[in-house]
Structure 1
Amino acid sequence: MSKLLFLSISLWVSFLLPTSAQTLYVDATRGKDEANGTATDPVASLDKAVALARDFTGTESVTIKIYPGLYVLRQVLEIKTRSSSADTVRYSLEAVTMPDDLDWQPTKMPVIQSVSADNSTKQFAHTIGFLVAKNNVSFKGLKFVGNANPAVRYYYPITREDETLQGLSVSQCYFIGEKNSSPIQGAIWAHGGGTHVDHTIFYGCKNALLLFKSITDFALTNSIISGSYEAAVWFGPYESDFLFRNNIVTNCEYVWLRAPDTTPKYTFSNSVIAGNAHYMGFYGSKGAIEANETNQIEQGVKKTGTILLSEVKTNGLPPDYLNLLPQSAGYDLKAGIFKTRKQ
C-alpha cells in the first residue's frame, strides 16, 4: 500500500470516527442514531450518545456535544462507564453553542424534557432524567424543563444517588418548571461531594437543590433561584462546608431548609435574598416548619430590594430571559446565565 493511499485512508477513518478526546455529537434535527457521532454525522438522541459513551475506555475526557433542538427523554439516562478504570475520567454533556459565545441566542440552547413515567423506586416512586453514576460529571449550557407526563408526581432532571461519588458540576443551565403542567420537584438531587453550581437559573421549580447525604465541598455561585414553592435549598445536617456567593434568591416559600434539631453555622455572602415567604426552616415528617433558632453568618447579604427578571411579554423569549434587568436589586452581582457576555 502506498504511503499516499495509507494517509488518505487514515484521514478518512479519523474524520468518520469520534475524536481521540472521546467526543460525540448529537443533533435532534439532522442526526441519525445509526450515525458515527461525529460533528458532520451526529446521532439523533441523547439515549444513543449516552449508550455509545458508556463503551469508551480511554483516559481522555468524554464529551457529548449537543446541537440546538428538543431532546425528549422517555427513560432514565444513566451516566456511567463500563470500565472501572475510567470512572475518574471527566464526562461532560454540553451545548455546542454556549451562552457566552457571540452567536448564542435562546433558540440555540438545547432543551431537555422528560416524558418518562416513574423510572425509579428508590425511597419512593419518581422519575429521573439523568442518573449520575460516576465521578466528575458536568452539564453545561443546557435548558431543562419539567416532566409533561401527567402520571408523574416527582421529577428530578439530575440525580446522584451514590453518596460516595465526587464531582458534579452544573454551569450556565436553566431549570424551568411549570407546576400546573410540567413540574420539577427538585432540579438537582445529589448526595456526595463536590457539587458545584455556577451561573445557573432555577425558575418555578418546587425545589432547586436537594442535598442530604455526605455533602462536602458544595458551591452555589452567581445563580438565580426564583419561584421555588417549597424551598430554594434543602441541606443535610452539615455546617459551613460550602460556598454560597453572588446569588439571587427571591419569590420562594423557604430559602433554606435544614435537618430537624440542628443549628449549623452556615455562611452566606454577597447575595440578595429578598421577597421570600420564609428564610430558614427545617424539614419534618409533615413538611417544612419555620425555624425559631438560627445560627447562620451573613456577609454582604441584602434582604430588601425589588428583584426584576427579564421575562416573556409579547415578543417571545428576550435574549437575556430570566436574567436580572439592569434596574433590579443585585444586578451588580453578575448572577445569571452569562459569565463574560454582557446582557
Structure 2
Amino acid sequence: MSTIVYAQQQAQTIFVDPVSGSDTNSGTSIAPLKSLKHAVSLANGNDIAGTFTIKLLPGLYVLEDKVQLERKTAGLVIEASDLPDSKDWNPYKMPVISSVSANNSTVQFPHAAGILVAMNNVKISGLKFIGNANPVTRYYYPISRKDTLATGLEISQCYFIGERNAAPIQAAVWVHGSKLMVDHCVFFECKNALVLIENIRDFSMTNSIVYGAYEAAVWFGAYHTPVRFSNNVISNCNFFWLRAEGTYPKYEFQNSLFAGNQSFMGHYTKSGLKPAGRNEHIEKNVQKNTKKVELITVGQKGLITNYLHLSNGTMGSELKAGIFK
C-alpha cells in the first residue's frame, strides 16, 4: 500500500489549500490537497468510525458541479483552518466558496446546488459563500439537503453574500429534515436566507444577521416543535417569515430586532406571497423599527474585520449578531 493511500485511510483530518496544494498529496497540513471536491471524495470513502474533518486554508474554491457529502459511517466537518475567533484570523483568510455550475439537480425543478448534504451530522463553519454567476443558472443554493429524514446540520460563522444583478443566491440554505442549527451567520442580499419546508424539527437560528432578503428571510413549512429563534437581526427584507396558507403556529421569537422590513409575517400561496392577517406566534423582548439598520461596508481600504456587521452602540448591536462568538 502506498504511503499516500495509507495516510488518507488513517486520517481523521485532511487539509486543503487551493493555492499551493495538490490532489496527489496526502492531505496533511504540510502536504495539503488542492480541491474541495477531492477532499470530499476521500471523506465519503473513509469508513473509520468517528467524525471526519476537512480543513480549508485561505483561497478561492471554485465549484464546477455540486459537491455531495455522503459519508456512511459517521459525521463530517468542513471548516476554515482559522475560524473568525482565532487569534490570527482576518477576513482575507476566510475560504471563499464560489459555484460556476450550470443546473446540476432536477429535484423539484432545475437548479444548482453548491454543497449537497446527503448524510446526517454535518457541520460547516467559517466559510464565505458567494453567488453563482453562470447565466444559465437561475436558482442557486449554496447549501442544500433534500432528504426529509436527514438529521443534524450545523452552519456557523459563515457569510452568504449574493449580488442579484450578477451572482444571485436564490436561497442560502435550502433544507428538509431535522436538527438544523444556524448560528452566528450573516446573510447579505440573498433572495432568501433560509428555505425550510418538509419535516422541519428542532430548528434553531441564533445570533445571525439577515439583510436585504428581497423575497423573504425565512420560508418555513409544516411546523414541528421546538423552534429556537433568538438574538437575530432581520433588516431591509421584503418579508421576514413566510409559512403555508391557513397555518397559525405558535413560534416564539426572542431577543431580536426587526428593522426596516416591508412586511413581517406572510403566506406563500399559489397566487403569490401575501401578508398574514392572523398570527399566533409569541414575541419576547423583540424590537421593531421602521428604519433599517446600518451595516459596516467595505470602503477604499478593502475588507475590514467586522464588515457587514453592526457598529458598536448602534441599534441591535447589543444582540451580538454576526460571525464572531
1:201 shift after superposition: 0.3
Aligned-residue CA RMSD in angstroms?
1.7
Q: Structure 2 vs 1, CA of residues 239 and 51 (structure 1 numbering), >3 Å: closer, same or farther?
A: closer
Partner of residue 268, structure 2: 283
Partner of residue 111, structure 2: 126
Selected match of 2:294 from 308, 331, 335: 308
Distance 1:254 1:52 in 2: 41
Q: Deviations over 1:98-131 (max 9, x none)?
A: 0001111010000000000000011100000011
Q: Is the 8 A contact 2:201 2:224 kept in 1?
A: no
Partner of residue 35, structure 2: 45
Distance 1:287 1:72 in 2: 34
The TM-score, its normalising length taken from structure 2, stands at: 0.96
Partner of residue 9, structure 1: none
Q: Is the 8 A contact 1:308 1:327 kept in 2?
A: no
**Any idea what SS the aligned residue of 2:285 has?**
strand
Q: How does 1:237-252 map to 2 (within 5 A)?
A: 237-238=222-223, 240-252=225-237
Q: Is the 8 A contact 2:265 2:276 kept in 1?
A: yes
Q: Deviations over 1:307-327 (max 9, x none)?
A: 221111221111111111113
Q: Does 1:337 align with 2:319?
A: no
Q: Is the 8 A contact 1:115 1:149 kept in 2?
A: yes
Q: Structure 2: where are the runs of 5+ without partners?
A: none
Q: Structure 1: where are the runs of 5+ without partners?
A: 1-11
Distance 1:246 1:307 in 2: 15
Q: Is the 8 A contact 2:235 2:292 kept in 1?
A: no
Distance 2:232 2:114 in 1: 26
Look up the equivalent residue of 2:320 and give its one-letter code.
K
Q: Is the 8 A contact 2:123 2:153 kept in 1?
A: yes
Distance 1:157 1:292 in 2: 33
Q: Is the 8 A contact 2:141 2:174 kept in 1?
A: yes
Q: Does 1:179 align with 2:169?
A: no
1:172 shift after superposition: 0.2
Q: Does 1:31 align with 2:17?
A: no
Selected match of 1:74 from 38, 52, 64: 64
Selected match of 1:141 from 103, 126, 131: 126
Q: Does 1:328 align with 2:314?
A: yes
Q: Structure 2 vs 1, CA of residues 19 and 299 (structure 1 numbering), >3 Å: closer, same or farther?
A: farther
Distance 2:102 2:126 in 1: 26
Q: Flag the structure with larger Rg.
A: 1
Selected match of 2:303 from 317, 324, 333: 317
Give the number of aligned pairs: 323
Look up the equivalent residue of 2:245 and give its one-letter code.
P
In the TM superposition, structure 1's runs of 4+ consecutive aligned residues that sit over 4 Å from their partners are 18-21
Q: Deviations over 1:202-224 (max 9, x none)?
A: 00100000001000000000000
1:52 shift after superposition: 1.0
Distance 1:233 1:240 in 2: 17
Identity across matched positions, percent? 49
The TM-score, its normalising length taken from structure 1, stands at: 0.91
Look up the equivalent residue of 1:310 and give its one-letter code.
I
**Any idea what SS the aligned residue of 2:45 has?**
coil
Distance 1:327 1:285 in 2: 43
Partner of residue 65, structure 1: 55
Distance 1:34 1:61 in 2: 23
